[in-house]
Structure 1
């Protein structure tokens, strides 16, 4: 505008409507009259536009309904923690329950409120920092191989060091306590040191029982940890992210080792390929 460019050309170049261009130019001309400092462009023109926020009254969403919906959300949380995830109430179930109880409210209002509440309570993940040789994670995977002409599923025991992401894996025909103890012994022999913490999910060879939120470690794992002097850390149920290194490692190791070569003369040959 200061360079005598037409409003039509300005509108085309900045990609806004001519009405918007006209409004800003008019505001600029008026500001020059009121601002006595004789600036090329006055300060109030440089500031972004402000809009008056409308505080709408939520006529349908009463405190009573809010309390009821929060109760439904808490019930769902309890069900998730007590292995009843499939019996959680969906948003449509909450809406129908409110309708059944005589509340006058729409489904969209219920859905928007529940979405907002669940976003507030959403779990936050903090990236951890690890020390060298401090922690190693363990998990089982499954791999299908053809050994001596016979196709069979084998168990893939995988360790991953949390600091370096170094991976160690062995093949077994089962996931018994003997296999678990064997792979631990071979890992420690291979590394030449004992990591301070071994992390597991709630596999049956590690956790023998649940008592409320407390979990009891199997005798075999307690004996192993006492002998080598490492500490056992258990992930919370359905929290694979708490041992995310090895969760990813199972898939990576299996694909890298056996996506092309799947037939071997013996299990020992398959283990050589894995190594």
Structure 2
């Protein structure tokens, strides 16, 4: 007979279960988010001290039934797909990812934009957070991601985004043709309704949304979030194993072996952003702050940066109507490294700000709300004069309310009032 609490045929564990102390955390995370990836949960458990393998963790999740079933979601039916061969150094796939609910401190509204680029052969990918999907931001993101990937492939593949090709014809736009010529790449748009043609970057989009964006805290800046993404790509994404003809190799090893062309200088596009001047007469841009004249605090200005340039221009906003003043450059500063947290001030702006602050400040004690302040002798003298003066008889207005009552009598009835109720003035008028 088995002992109480024992099951026949099941051996009792001799050592304590190493996953036992992580059960509460894993169960709480999965109850809050049933769709949380197991690999994302594994990343979190490693930081908390879990020292077992990923398959061991997933087996513990299954055996303990920690992931609740989601009745609202149903798996999509599978479909046949073809495997496309991608030679080394041949193609880079690009795509935008719209990420909802960015931190409010970013000031980006309801959506952040992530430009993802992936090497089709090795699977290495990188991403850049952008405020907009307009063409200058796209060009800036292409340059930054391509440098992070290590160089240029022969072709760039896009879906039919309007900033690159015409959605109807698939022809490259004239403005982006100059960009492709600058970097020496051929633009290859995807065929219509063939989203799986760029499956490498689509999978990278899925990973970025689930393993990076889903767990991003609310108190990080844009630069800190970008650093988190870069670190994850280098420490987690590049160590994935891929099957090759010679065995298995990591994504990073395959990417280093790809013949990529060197990067030229950035394409000279101009980024223009709208900013509000702070109370300290500073304008924020990419983790740094730049000064403007103090009289512009609270005003809306535009910040312009030419890619590859060393300066930043701050200009006034143009007027709303025709004939309004044109935008005027009010400050030019040397660009500080992105995310450095530097405050770049012009000496003239500092002096003007100090003078404005001193002029606005006084040494007088501020008034207190519960202070007793009776009328002064001067006010009492004026009051005595007013009491001694007789009222002006010509300005007095005598109002007889009975005349208004007589005129309003009977207006809310269906039958007209009798002449006996008319006012005396009305009787005289009708008699005449």
Contact 1:147/1:267 (<8 A) preserved: no
Contact 2:161/2:167 (<8 A) preserved: no
Choose which of 160, 166, 187 in structure 2 pairs with 1:208: 166
Task: After TM superposition, give the deviation of residue 262 of structure 1 in Å.
Answer: 3.5
Contact 2:130/2:141 (<8 A) preserved: no
Contact 1:149/1:263 (<8 A) preserved: no
Contact 1:138/1:157 (<8 A) preserved: yes
Task: After TM superposition, give the deviation of residue 185 of structure 1 in Å.
Answer: 1.0
Inter-CA distance 124–148: structure 2 relative to 1 (3 Å threshold): closer
Asked if residue 250 in structure 1 is aligned to residue 205 in structure 2, the reply is yes
Aligned match of 1:135 = 91
Structure 2 residue matching 1:130: 3-state secondary structure: coil
Asked if residue 273 in structure 1 is aligned to residue 228 in structure 2, the reply is yes
- Kindly report which structure 2 residues correspond to 1:108-257, keeping only aligned pairs within 5 A, or say none: 125-144=81-100, 145-148=102-105, 152-208=110-166, 210=168, 214-257=169-212
- Kindly report which structure 2 residues correspond to 1:16-165, keeping only aligned pairs within 5 A, or say none: 125-144=81-100, 145-148=102-105, 152-165=110-123
Runs of 4+ aligned residues of structure 1 deviating over 4 Å after TM superposition are none
Task: After TM superposition, give the deviation of residue 158 of structure 1 in Å.
Answer: 0.6
Q: Which is richer in helix?
A: 1
The alignment's TM-score, normalised by the length of structure 2, stands at 0.33
Task: After TM superposition, give the deviation of residue 187 of structure 1 in Å.
Answer: 2.1
Task: After TM superposition, give the deviation of residue 188 of structure 1 in Å.
Answer: 2.6
Contact 1:154/1:171 (<8 A) preserved: yes
Deviations 1:84-128 (A, max 9, x none): xxxxxxxxxxxxxxxxxxxxxxxxxxxxxxxxxxxxxxx974311
Give the whole-Å Cα distance in 2 for the aligned partners of 1:264 and 1:239. 38
Task: After TM superposition, give the deviation of residue 147 of structure 1 in Å.
Answer: 3.9
Give the whole-Å Cα distance in 2 for the aligned partners of 1:124 and 1:256. 27
Give the whole-Å Cα distance in 2 for the aligned partners of 1:220 and 1:256. 35
Task: After TM superposition, give the deviation of residue 189 of structure 1 in Å.
Answer: 2.1
Inter-CA distance 233–152: structure 2 relative to 1 (3 Å threshold): same
List runs of 5+ in structure 1 lacking aligned partners: 1-122
Choose which of 250, 255, 264 in structure 1 pairs with 2:219: 264
Aligned residue pairs, count? 150
Structure 2 residue matching 1:263: 3-state secondary structure: coil
Aligned match of 2:340 = none
Inter-CA distance 137–232: structure 2 relative to 1 (3 Å threshold): same
Structure 1 residue matching 2:188: 3-state secondary structure: strand
Give the whole-Å Cα distance in 2 for the aligned partners of 1:250 and 1:126. 20
List runs of 5+ in structure 2 lacking aligned partners: 1-78, 231-432
Structure 2 residue matching 1:202: 3-state secondary structure: coil
Inter-CA distance 177–260: structure 2 relative to 1 (3 Å threshold): same
Give the whole-Å Cα distance in 2 for the aligned partners of 1:124 and 1:255. 25
Task: After TM superposition, give the deviation of residue 169 of structure 1 in Å.
Answer: 0.3
Give the whole-Å Cα distance in 2 for the aligned partners of 1:142 and 1:195. 25
Contact 2:124/2:149 (<8 A) preserved: no
Structure 2 residue matching 1:159: 3-state secondary structure: strand
